[in-house]
Every structure is written in structure tokens, then in C-alpha cells.
Amino acid sequence: MMGKCRYSPLWQKNPKYNWVGPVPGNDREVYCRICRKAFKLATMGLTALDSHMRSNKHVVMSKCCQQQGPIGHFCVPSGSSGVTPATDSTVAASATTTAATTSTAVVNRLASTSHQQPMNLQSFCGSTPTLRSEVIWVLKTMTDHHSYTSNMDIGDVFKTMFPDSQIASTFTCGKDKTSYIVNFGLAPFITTKLTEQINKSPCFTIMFDESLNKTTKNKQLDLHIRFWENDMVQSRYFGSEFMGHSKAEDLMKHFKECVRNLNMRQMLSVSMDGPSVNWRFFEMLQQEHAEQFAGAQLVMVGSCGLHTLHNAFKLGFVNWQMDKFLRALHTIFHNVPARREDFSKLTKSDDFALPFCGHRWIENLPVAERAYTIWPNIKKYVDSVEKKQLPNPGTSSFDTIQQATKDPLIPANCNFSWPYPELSHLFSQNLTPLQMVRLPVTDKQSWVHAKAVDIGIGAEAVIKELQRQCRSVGELTILQFRQDCIEGLSKSLKKIQEKSPLCFPAVRQLSCLNPAMMKSHPESCQEKMRCLVRKFLQDNQLAGSYAADDFVIQQFDSFLTQSATNQDVINFNPASDRLDTFLHSHTSQVYPELWAFCQKLLVLSHGQATVERGFSINKQVQVCNIQEDTVVAHRLVCDFVVRHGGVAKVPITQELLTLAAGARSKYRLHLESAKKKTEKEAQGQKRLAIEKELEELKKKKKKAIQEVSERLLLDADKLAEEAESIRSHEAQSSNRGPARPTNARGREAASEKHGGRDLKFALKVIK
């Protein structure tokens, strides 16, 4: 009957419908054991079963079931001492009870292979050698910065290359599989292990810096951690946060989000570069850290010294505009084949200017040297353009170069703008770090005369050649050049003094751990160690009382006494030996309190080189349409491989393989979650649109009512006036005397909401 279809147990006897089952308490529905869902029979009956069998989900799930074996083959009977191979009768019985989840082909395959070797879930669901090979291949793909698409059909390629390999025959690591193994297998494993190692470390330092990610169009905040692992300090990439605005509050929010799983009580310091926003962020972090951990203060070691040097050199010689000149030399011929050909034919040289980096001033020394080398050819090119022998580029770069050719001191500027020998000579003097910081570099009374200043051999040679060839370069011009050199050096040194980490006492006193200082100045090392212990006690970074920390000073004094005759200390070479492993081997067993304090000192950061190197990896990782989570996963994998010395040396543990095998299920859950989130957002947007439309309708209704009411009042006022005029006219015609004006009374009546004789009359007329 129509609408009366019920479930029938006879359907299960039909091999075509062996996947159906009853729904307890409801015979109007049927349950699909493959799809694990119930659906209504309604008026269709068996036709509903046929329709469900043709659905995409049922077809896909059926194919998956055909590749799975019965669970009975993986179970050990009670009382059995081992795994018993399955027999044909066992397979047949299991096939009868699990007809909904397997096929005859699978049963035959299991029966044919059961007598060869015992089966287990690990060997059936995923061969461990194959999975291990897939993980290694994914690691290789990530470290070489290949895209996921590059692994398309890689399984077929390996099968063709190695037809006799069992691993190659089961190897499947395409685009999607590479993606979810990296993001849901390797990355969580690396993050979990790294977090455990950091939390086990007695202390750690966080280094951070941000750069523009050109793919995601956001600022990428990279965090690196310095911590102790075994007997040495490690610097590892920990994660990234992506943000638009980069105010101090924004940095604080994303910083806390990235380190939420770390034990922040063990954080000793923060390493950063020197923008004002970073210093504001440090103040906020310092205040919050003290509030959470009983007044503990982070150790301040200043900003990155390398950034300070870059900015100091840039500031010192900004008047010469060397950055503008060197950029113009590179830009005028960059990606312009016609000009490059004209230049090469004219000068018989293929040497062109190197690219100039404005925020890494110290690294531009090769750029200045190349500019000095090709400058005669550049002048020849400009002269040919002026004589109209070559086309005029007509660009601002050419205008800058043309203007520079009129300055005869350009070669001298190129030789002196990077005054490394002069600064090296200054720092090679017997000055303590404190004396260098307090050196009066801006006091003109302490400056040497301009004629006596050492501008370097290269600049001196250029000046002598100019004086010999060009009479327009007189003594006054040379004297002014030397004076500019003195002022430039003074500005650079002043900037270094203001921003250098040597301004902070903790940095200056760390030299007490230098074996050379221990050997040559033991008394100075003792005093510096006392200052460090006192500083850490004041910052609440040392546990125990003052008496307990006296052990640190006593043990250090004892270590200094032994170091005087210790050949390891005498032969220590900082170019090849690690200070952390050296101190660990000489103090960890004999002087445990001293070693615990040295661990805190050695974990302090001395620069941002690790973070800066990570920016180069970010550029290699960035590909079109890459997601933010994928960027972080790639960085984690690359850092993990580098930590172990290469892909071949990475330990493929069972835990790693287990997470890699379960990555697909996490990937599917992620897709479902993303789908639900998208649907929820779409519903939210739809709800907002409806609410907005209702609000607009309410506004329109209110406006319409107001307009109608105003129109009615105007009409009522007009009609009331007309009525009064008619009455006045009638009164005059009947000789009742002149009528007094009633326009005011009519308007008053029209403004009343309920009642009024004139208003009622007007409303009747309107009706």
C-alpha cells in the first residue's frame, strides 16, 4: 500500500541486499551497515534500497570494504600462545558473519595468504616498510622545497622503475597523501617532541622576528627557542604566527598564542631586534611575567648587535647618499637586455653592478668594491649617452648616475663607506667593554686633525690619483672629505654605543666564562661572576637564599684555581671548540651548583642570526596558494631534518609511523570540520543579511508612516482652512456680521491626535 512499506527480514537473505539491517523500534526505516546510516522506506520499498545502492557514498564505501579483511583473522584465540594461521573454514565462517564488510575476492585472498605467514593489523592495513619509505620520501620532498603536485603519480613512477620491489608495488604517496602526512602526521609529532624537550630544559630563551610573507600577504612572526638538550645549547624553530597589524598589543597576543604550551616560568630572556615596538612589547611582557611568577624579571641583554651595526653604518654616511647611488648602478642595467648589450659593446666588459641591500649595510662591501671597479666604464657609458652615441634611458637611475659623474670623490667614497679597518683598529686597543661604551666619540676636542685621520690605504691612493689627474680637486676639497670621514665615524660609533648590547651589565660580565679570560685575568672573572649572581638574585632567577648562592661563587673560584694548570683550558680554541660542551665536561660533575648557573648564562641569546637564516627558508617554502598552517609545517619538518643532519639520519620511530598512519583520519576530520565551519559561516551571513533586510524594511515602514502622517496633517490643515473660509463666506452672505479669523484654531485642531470638530470634518472629506 502507498506509504505503508515496512522492513522485511527476508531482504537479508538476498545477496544483493546483504548490507541491510533493521532499525530497532522503527520498521519504516532500514539501516545500511556499510554507510552506517538509516534511511526511510517511505512508499518506495525495494526501490529505496536500489536507489541507496547507486548513491556515491555507498559506492565508495563498498569499494573500501572490498579491500578490508574480516577482523577475525587478526584475533588470537583465548588460550593460544601465538597467532594461529586462519583456515579455510574460519575464513568461510567469518565471511558469512561479515558479508556486509567484505567480498568473496577478499576472502579468497586471505585464505590463499593465510598459510604463508601470520597476519596482523599493522601488516594488513599498512606495511611498515612501505609506510617508512613514504615518510622518508615526504621528508625529502619537504627539505628540497618541492611542491605537493611534484609527487603526482609518483607511485606509478616507482613501480615502473622498480618492478621487482614489493615496497614499490605498494608505494602510494601522491599530492594529497604528502599533504596530510606533513600537516597531520609529521608536524604534530615534531611539535609535541620539541615542546617536551623545551619543558624539560632548566631554562630557555625565545628569539623572534617578523617579515612579510608575500604569498599569504601577512606578516609572519617566527619564533625560535634556545634551550639545553643533553650537554649543549640548541636553537630550534618552534612556530609562526601570522598577523596584519604589528603593534605591541598584537605582538603580545600572537606571542602568547604560539608559546601557550610552554612552561613560561623557565623563560629566562627574549631576543629581538631594535624597533621601538619591540621594546614596548618587552615592557608589557616583563610586567606580565613579574605578575605571574612572583616578581621574576627577564634578563635584558639588549637587541641584536648585528642589526645595530647595520643601522650604525647606514646612519654614519647618509649625507653621501651611497645607498641611492649603488641602487641606481644596479637598477639601470637590471632586466634591460638592450642597455646591457650597449654597455658590453662599448666597454668590452660584462661586469655589472651587484644588487644593493638597504637593511644589511655591512654585507654591501662587495657591492661597493664592484662599483669602484666598474666606475670608469660607467663614466664612459654616460659620456656616450650625452654625446647621443647611445640612447638616453630617461630614468631616475640614469639621472642619479649622471649627477654622480660630476663628483670626483665617488671612488673615494666607495672605499671609505665601509670602514672596517678603522673600527677594527679602534676595537683592537686595550679598552674594556665599559670603556668602549663610555668613549667620548662625539667630543670634537678629542678628535684628531683632519689631515692626520687614517682613511685607509684604498681611499688615500684614490685621493693621490685624483690630485695628480684632476687639478679641480684641491686641498680644501680633500680636507672637507677627511672631515666628513671623521664625522661619519663619530655618528656610527655613537649609534653603536647607544644600541649595543654592551650597554647592559649582564652582557659585559659574561666574559668571565671565556677560558682565555680565566687564564689571563682570574681576579676580574671572579668579580664579574659575583655581579652576575647578584643580578640573577635580584631578578628572582635563582632559587634559594644568598647563602646557597655563595656556593656558586666558591665553586667558580675553585674552578679558576684549577684552570690555571688545566691544559684543556689553556688549549681551548673558540673557532673549533664549543664552550657549552667544554664547561659541561669540566663542571657538571664536580661543581653542580656552578654548572646549573652556567646553563642559565649560556642559554642567553647573542644575536638574531638563527631567525634571520629562517627568512631564507621562508622564501624557499613559499609557493602559490600555500596556507599558513602549511608554511609552519614545512618549517618544522625542515628544521627537524637539519637537526639530525639529513634525511638519511632522521630516526623513523614507531611513534612517528603511527602518527603518519593516522594522518588520513585526521585529515578527513579536518575537512569535515572546515565544511561545517563554512556552512555555519554561510548561515551566519545569511542570517545577518535577513536581519539587515528586516531592519531596512522597518526603517522604510517607519519613514513611510511618518511621511503619510505628515501629509495627512498638512491636508487636514489645508481642508480646515478651506472649511473656515467657506463658513466665513456663508456668514457674510447671510448678513451675520464679519467672522473672526479661525486659521489658528484650525491649525490647533488639526494637530490634535484624537478629537476636534474641524479635524473630524477634514477626515470625513479625506475619506
Query: Per residue in 78-108, pLDDT tens?
Result: 544 444 444 443 433 333 343 334 344 433 4
Strand partners, 32: 20, 37
**Which range is least confidently modeled, 47-61, 167-181, 250-264, 409-423?**
409-423
In the chain, CATH 3.30.420.10 sits at 181-301+607-661
φ and ψ of 333, to 5 deg: -110, 0
pLDDT of residue 112: 42
Contact 143, 641 (CB under 8 A): yes
- Could you tell me the CA-to-CA distances from 355 to 367, 488, 638, 735 in Å, in that order? 7, 24, 28, 108
Contact 546, 537 (CB under 8 A): yes
And the C-alpha cell for 533?
649572581
Identify the residue with better confidence: 704 or 127.
704
Chain-centroid distance, C-alpha 482: 46
pLDDT of residue 139: 95
Q: State the pTM of this model.
A: 0.73
Buried b / exposed e over 364-394, threshold 16 CB at 10 Å, is beebbebbbebbebbeebbebbeeeebeebe
**Which range is least confidently modeled, 244-253, 304-313, 588-597, 689-698?**
304-313
Plot region of 163 (φ>0 → left; ψ -120 to 50 → alpha; else → beta): alpha
Identify the residue with better confidence: 23 or 460.
23
- Separation of alpha carbons 66 and 103, rounded Å: 5
pLDDT, average across residues 158-175: 91
- Separation of alpha carbons 588 and 420, rounded Å: 40
Specify the DSSP class assigned to residue 15.
G
Query: In the CATH scheme, what is the code of domain 181-301+607-661?
Result: 3.30.420.10
> 56-66 and 46-53 are packed helices; what angle lies between their axes, rounded to 10 degrees?
70
- Separation of alpha carbons 534 and 516, rounded Å: 24
How do residues 322-348 score in pLDDT, each as one tens digit? Answer: 889 999 999 999 999 999 999 999 999
109, pLDDT greater than 60: no
Side chain identity, residue 586: H
| 3-class secondary-structure state, position 374 | helix
Identify the residue with better confidence: 406 or 137.
137
Contact 331, 397 (CB under 8 A): yes
Beta strand segments in 119-243, E:
204-213, 218-229, 232-243
Query: Per this entry, what is the length of the chain?
Result: 767
- Separation of alpha carbons 547 and 559, rounded Å: 19
Identify the residue with better confidence: 259 or 313.
259
- Separation of alpha carbons 28 and 401, rounded Å: 88
pLDDT, average across residues 549-560: 87
How do residues 600-635 score in pLDDT, each as one tens digit? Answer: 999 998 888 888 888 888 888 877 778 888 999 999
Confidence of residue 548 (pLDDT cuts 50, 70, 90): low
- Separation of alpha carbons 293 and 263, rounded Å: 11
- Separation of alpha carbons 281 and 209, rounded Å: 12
- Separation of alpha carbons 154 and 689, rounded Å: 47
pLDDT, average across residues 145-157: 90
State the chain's maximal CA–CA distance in angstroms: 142
Confidence of residue 442 (pLDDT cuts 50, 70, 90): confident
Query: In which order are the strands placed within the sheet that holds 37-40?
Result: 20-23, 26-32, 37-40
- Separation of alpha carbons 219 and 242, rounded Å: 6
Buried b / exposed e over 644-681, threshold 16 CB at 10 Å, is eeebeebeeeeebbebbbebbeebeeeeeeeeeeeeee
And the C-alpha cell for 698?
522597518
| 3-class secondary-structure state, position 85 | coil
- Separation of alpha carbons 106 and 204, rounded Å: 55
| Vertex 429 angle, CA 427 and 433, to 5° | 60
Q: Is 418 exposed, middle or buried (0-12, 13-18, 19+ CB in 10 A)?
A: buried
737, pLDDT greater than 60: no
Strand partners, 718: none
Side chain identity, residue 702: K
Half-sphere exposure of 613 (CA within 13 A, CB side): 11
